[in-house]
Chains A and B, each alone.
Chain A
Amino acid sequence: MSLPAGAHFARRLFFREARVSTITQTNGRLSSTTRAERIHSFEDRYRQQQFTRRNWTLLYGALFLAALIGSVAVSDFSIPGLLKGLPMAWNYIAGTLPSLSVENFWADLADWYWGLRFWTRLLVETILMGFVGTVLGGAVALLLSFPASRNLVENTGIYFIARRTLEFFRTVPELVFALIFVFAFGLGPFAGVLAIAVHTAGSLGKLFAEVNENVDPRPIEGVRASGGNWPMIMRLGVVPQALPNYASYLLLRFEINVRGASALGLVGAGGIGEDLYVAIRQFEYTDISAIMLLLILTTSVIDISCESIRHRLIGHNLTQSA
């Protein structure tokens, strides 16, 4: 192997420089640098790296402190306030706990859950709201996810519009939609379902589009080569590959939506939140804990069953994504 003359010259230049400069990286290969020199150069580099690192840490620390001071100033948060407020909060929570005695356990339990029949009805309504909202939102998300996948549309305009629409659906909080829909569609679960559906369409549409962008292009080309039009390509080339992932995301969203549906009642959009709101506002302490316990149980059962179905659908490698 022969190098051009210029390269030889550059190499000689480099080596001569390396001999005089101790900061150049040598990795101890050169016999002409002494051990002390090498250690010196190593320490120099170490110090330099430490210096930059410390500067970054200081910068982040200063930013953090500024944010902290600003937040405390704006939200009139204070340590004495916290010390005063925490026992109050704790007393409140302790006050919601029922008095259950061992000898009279069942009667006490019945007393605590005096409204069980009524609450069960509302709980069923909450779950139904989550279900219908997820299905409707999922359908819209599916339709919008194809034009929002970069590999499936050539027209940049359509892609852009679909993406921005999904973003809008996703970013406006569910509760804001609920407030507006309660105004437009009247009080009750119908407005809540629509709010859930719109928000779900936004967040699922983005996830579905990401799934679509990761599909294998070969089936798509196969359908196109046998003369399929665009809807056929989507139906036969994309959907069969992406279906397990769609289902998994739908189930994940269902869990989230049941939880969200429980809060929608606070603005009058149906579900168990309505009764929880009344209980909290009227200081019916034991009702609060009864309803919250019911909610916790329901969401846990849904979480666990959805998780096991999801694992069966796509294996154990799905990490949780909100």
Chain B
Amino acid sequence: MSPTRDVVGTSDLDVFADTLADVAAGRRPAEELARLPAAGSPAALRIRRAYEEALATDTAQEPPAPHGGPLSEPPPYQGESVIDHLDRLTVDWTDFEAAGEITRDVVQRLADDKESLRKLVYDVEHKPELLAMCERHQLLDYIVLYDALDRGVRLRLHISTDDHFDRPHDHRFSFSSRIVTGGYTHTWYHMDGDLYGEGSDPEARQYLNRHNPDPRAKDQLEKLTPHIVRWEAPGSCYTLHHSAIHTTFTTPDTVSLFLRGPAEKDRSVIMDKQEGTLWWRFGRQDEPEERRQQKAMGIEAYRQIRDRLEGLGVI
């Protein structure tokens, strides 16, 4: 049924006719039945009955193949847990819209499935390959819950630290995020011009932290204009392209699920608005050993964070 037909200038019979047209076209969303007006004319009752029968047939049989093509994929999650679904999921991030739809669905479902989330968090203790990827940063800690980047999926749980700064940044990868608890002011920026120029920039590797910003990047922060400001509360869910520059100005104890795709560039940028400086972040494989050790979480911190997650009621 076309949305908003409950609005104006449309009779009950029009709504039934519209529904019937959907049935004829093979579209039968179950909730549509509840939207049908409670009209009692013989024609209305006949149409309602026809729709109910069509729905019953649908649940008993496979849906018809549209236009005679192959049968569509079964709907995800039928009779399987979110973790089972992750095991057979492949996400093609070159199609940003489609990848966003798939991955927002995963983080939404996992946020609502505390049992699966708890299992994923606890399993990290026995999965050294995941534990080795968990990191501590100035603004957030993260636990890597699931890693299949060859299939376009790496799932992390982000936990804010007690430091909260407004630091515009982008990412090396696109991702979907779902706020579980807490919240943050989320700002998306427009940037005049392109920070990345011709792509690879070996010199950028010298400027890896706020104490050693990139001296070549003066005045870049003046090119930023905030274009959207919103408060992301528990339940908020979005997908961000790796090129988007944003800030997440957190409150204490903010936890979010974060499902990222593969890296699409070798570095990402982070800026300090107050200082007017910027520096770069590289992937683990491109970082000096000292930096890797500095941000590694380790088992003790992981257990402390896990306890904190339990205390917050997240797991």
Instruction: Tell whether A pairs with B.
Output: no
A residues at B contact (CB < 8 Å): none
